Chains A and B, each alone.
Chain A
Amino acid sequence: MRSNVKAGWSLKVAALGGMLFLHIPLLIIILYAFSIEEKSFVFPIPGFTTKWFAVAFEREDVRRALGLSIKVAAIATSLALVLGTLAAAAVWRSRFFGREAISLLLILPIALPGIITGIALRSAIGIAEIPFSTWTLVLGHATFCIVVVYNNVLARFRRTNRALIEASMDLGANGFQTLRYVVLPNIATALLAGGMLAFALSFDEVIVTTFTAGQQSTLPIWMLSELIRPRQRPVTNVVAVFVIAVTFVPIVLAFYLTRDTHDVAGSVK
């Protein structure tokens, strides 16, 4: 509820300060990507250059890590889209014993600290003697991506009129036609938004990934190893900017896809 009173200056300052706190660090990353200084994080940066962008994109290890990240995020997102939508549909269309438990189960992989999910998967992979591969990564990522899709799709379902489905059936469509021509068009943007957020989440995930990757390196794992043992700082800066850019697009798109419908796309990450 918006009030007609003007905000006091102290509230304005506090709100502005909080927002600056959230955003200045991202701007600083971008600034440093253009620095000519190689060895330290000296501020202000001594000079501008764009040469590090070229250097970073020539690096074989960066490219390989990027490729793996995209592959894993794409597969995990597809799986999460199917599983999350199925769960959302079940919870929406009927009441059944244990319905509350389903929401809890779905949320658990992100409500519990990531290290628990990671180490649990690691020990299970060890016991089952599954060799580390793209698929062990997908296993972990899909698990925590399901809830993102589920939340988005369920929110949309809750505002979909059930009468639409009955009308479709009354007009002679069978269940599959109803799904194709009524249900899916209705939830399409929610699917797209949920899918993009799931992609961004998977693309960026590092904690669970560390445990299920073995010797493989996704982009976040590459970054983590550079943070702990820096080799070429300017390249890390450039990759960081690249990661910001890659995640920026799906987030903004997801926001615009769901804003008119009041879905809170990120209410539970």
Chain B
Amino acid sequence: MVTLDARSEPERVNTAAALPLKSSPLQRLSSALYLRPALLTFLLLTPPLLWLGVIYLGSLFTLLAHSFFGLDEFSGVMVREFTVATWAEFFGNPATWDVVTRSALMAISVTLAAALIAFPIAHYMVRYAGMRMKAVLYLGVMLPLWSSYLVRVYAWKLILAKEGIVSWFAALLHLDWLLDAVLETPVVGGPSLSTSYLGTFIVFTYIWLPFMILPVVAALERVPGSVIEASGDLGAKPGQTFRKVIFPLAFPGVVAGSIFTFSLTLGDYIIPSIIGKSVPFLGETVYRLQGTAGNIPMAAAFTVVPIVIMGIYLTLAKRLGAFDAL
């Protein structure tokens, strides 16, 4: 898979060849490696590639192959013979589309909300905050990003609980009616915030928000100040400069961030099972199929969905220049 290009460092090879070679074995080994940069690259790459190639890709392909196995109708045990029955059932079942649509819609809404919240933070951080403030903000984004996922989900269980902070706050401000009205809204509402789509949506947005902020910051950092000044000099108002210059230039950053928010929402099975309506999302469906249902072939078929969606998404993102903003 890796064809080595020995021409990459010709001058270095020449200088090394001119050196007098000492004879200690270590010295000889090191000279031998220096004279053969291709060999050294190969040696460096072999362990990580073996690890990822065998353990990771190997497992991944094994899993995908499972979707072409079927279940024995009577015993429910997996039969290791080639069949497309699993795929036929997958496409034929209306519940499949239900799950896929629900997950995709949730992923899209979460991505949009995260972009909306992230942009002002990133914009302020890059263009207005002083050195010290910027470091504080940066750390302020990094901490939630790296701190415990479960703990942060748990925090929202406390916040959104019926007797929790949101209800208390609503009562304090005499806004109970508003909270009740929101909860009574069809589709997004539910008996309480922690058992509604709205709750699931808030928690998803919260958890993946830092993944959106960082690429947007990186993209905004790269917008040259001279371009912004030029826009002002040419008579654009700050709002116009933002809309016509800053935002289009930073857009690849938003797309880069959306790769994470979209993919992570699509595959998560823990958040909807803890906070929400207990309707199946993609991740949960896979989890249930391989766990309690024991239907590995169908679980494997379902994992293809996020892979395909992400494949399309990454191709589009690449066109929009998102990879340069990562």
Contact = CB atoms under 8 A, between A and B. Distances in A.
A90 B144 contact: no
A160 B145 CA distance: 28
Contact of A204 (B3, B41, B148): B148
A228 interface: yes
A97 B303 contact: no
Contact of B48 (A25, A146, A207, A265): A146
Q: B-side binding surface: helix, strand, loop or mixed?
A: helix
B170 to A, nearest CB: 11
Contacts of A269: 145-146, 211, 260
Interface string A161-184: 000001001100011100000000
A268 interface: yes
A243 B137 CA distance: 22
A166 B9 CA distance: 12
Contacts of B307: 112, 116
Contact of A166 (B1, B12, B41, B151): B12
B48 A26 contact: no
Interface residues of B, number: 119
B32 to A, nearest CB: 9
A3 B33 contact: no
A113 B62 contact: no
B125 A123 contact: no
A57 to B, nearest CB: 17
A115 B303 contact: yes
A93 B39 CA distance: 12
Contact of A29 (B16, B158, B228): B158
Interface of A: 1-3, 5-8, 11-12, 14-15, 17-19, 21-23, 25-26, 28-29, 32, 40-44, 79, 82-84, 86-87, 89-90, 93-98, 101-102, 105-106, 108-109, 111-117, 119-124, 127, 139, 142-143, 146, 166, 169-170, 174-176, 197, 200-201, 204, 206-207, 220, 223-224, 227-228, 236, 240, 243-244, 247-248, 251-252, 255, 259, 264-269
Interface of B: 1-5, 8-9, 12, 15-16, 19, 26-27, 29-31, 33-34, 37-38, 40-41, 44-45, 47-49, 51-53, 55-60, 62-63, 66, 117-118, 120-121, 123-130, 135, 137-159, 161, 163-165, 167-168, 206, 209-211, 213-215, 218, 221, 223-225, 228, 238, 259-260, 263-264, 266-270, 273-274, 283, 286-287, 290, 296, 299-300, 303, 306-307, 310, 314, 326
